[in-house]
Structure 1
């Protein structure tokens, strides 16, 4: 069997994410991916078992990284306030997606389609997402940082705000005149969600919303 480096494997994954995102899964052939990545066609079958396996790899690796961000925020609950954990989570999730723009858009689009793969993902990954977010909200309510609320509804609203710009980047570009790949987006949009958390969830009404000066500063980690 032919062996290649992990760098070559990632080149194939990046090429597939770009082509799936721009041409659609059905409109992309294994040969297209091999040519885009500059590798031998056989390597795709060797590493991923074909185009379907490559899609599964892209989705699972993206979601595993996303869940690690949520898990890190959840683990910090004993050290930091629930509010800080949630605000940090928002920044890290936006940064994570922006750095993986093509894969992020691909994954969010594929999850909107009812397939066997998506059902499996719902069971293995998105149920964990729900657990972490509800745990953080519940801890904040218990500690009297957050207002009593319907945690499931807040979770759906929050994840919708986090993912919408990457699922519909053309909407953000046409209506708000900037791209989700811009530094400006990372700064402004993160601040908007921070303000929403402060105003919607926090019991302390004296919390100062994110200032215009803070909006001009890069998000942590950029």
Structure 2
């Protein structure tokens, strides 16, 4: 079903409320009131709150993986280190551009649930495969320098850095207000990860 202004209003309202109150703390009526639409619109477009959640998360990850794939397609002629740095910038930029949904999804992913297992099988497995392959490529010429276990721990650290701002949002949200400061946060945070990559590959 194609996107419509009403569907977008419902999605925006749901993203905000899921972020603020959690999935179980948000009712369909809350979403309808926030979006200024009839309850029947949510049923028509999404078949209820669970359908809305599934649509929001699927749409988020499909766009996210499309960003990853297009970034890699544009990065054929650069070094593995430059490639992973470029990808990290695009990942953090995407997550920050969808801040409320990013925070909600990563909070949900920190808990073991049917939702988490479904995401792991569909989208997260692909993300892990792509980032894992890039990381292996990064250390291809450094096999003797880094043991396999070291590389696994370093990859775990990288994955942690990609999700930390959205799991620990309360740690920094008071200092980042307005579009300019959010852009500055992305720039500074990406630079921090890039510096870490330079250090571990030196």
TM range (shorter): 0.7 to 0.9
Q: C-alpha displacement at 1:189, in angstroms? A: 0.9
| TM-score (norm. length: structure 1) | 0.80
| 3-state DSSP of counterpart to 1:78 | coil
Q: C-alpha displacement at 1:130, in angstroms? A: 1.0
Matching residue of 1:23: 21
| TM-score (norm. length: structure 2) | 0.87
Matching residue of 1:185: 185
Q: Distance in 2 between matches of 1:133 and 1:9?
A: 33
Segment of structure 1 superposing worse, 181-190 or 10-19: 181-190
Q: Distance in 2 between matches of 1:152 and 1:69?
A: 25
Q: Distance in 1 between matches of 2:147 and 2:6?
A: 47
Contact 2:72 2:87 in 1 (8 A): no
Q: C-alpha displacement at 1:46, in angstroms? A: 1.4
> For this pair of structures, how many residues does the alignment match?
198
Residues 5 and 80 (structure 1 numbering): CA distance in 2 closer, same or farther, change over 3 Å?
A: closer
Unaligned ranges ≥5, structure 2: none
Q: Distance in 2 between matches of 1:139 and 1:73?
A: 16
Contact 2:18 2:26 in 1 (8 A): yes
What is the CA deviation profile of residues 107-137 of structure 1, one whole-angstrom value per residue up to 9, with x for unaligned ones?
Answer: 1011112111210110111111111011112
| 3-state DSSP of counterpart to 1:170 | helix
Matching residue of 2:199: 199
Equivalent residue runs for 1:137-152 within 5 Å:
137-142=135-140, 148=146, 150=148, 151-152=151-152
What is the CA deviation profile of residues 24-67 of structure 1, one whole-angstrom value per residue up to 9, with x for unaligned ones?
Answer: 21221111111111112111111111101111111121122222
- Name the one with the larger helix percent: 2
How large is the Cα RMSD of the aligned pairs? 2.5
Contact 1:105 1:166 in 2 (8 A): yes
Corresponding position: 1:100 with 2:114: no
Contact 1:83 1:140 in 2 (8 A): yes
Q: Distance in 2 between matches of 1:7 and 1:153?
A: 45
Matching residue of 2:121: 123
Unaligned ranges ≥5, structure 1: 206-222
Give the ranges of 4+ consecutive aligned residues of structure 1 lying more than 6 Å apart after TM superposition: none
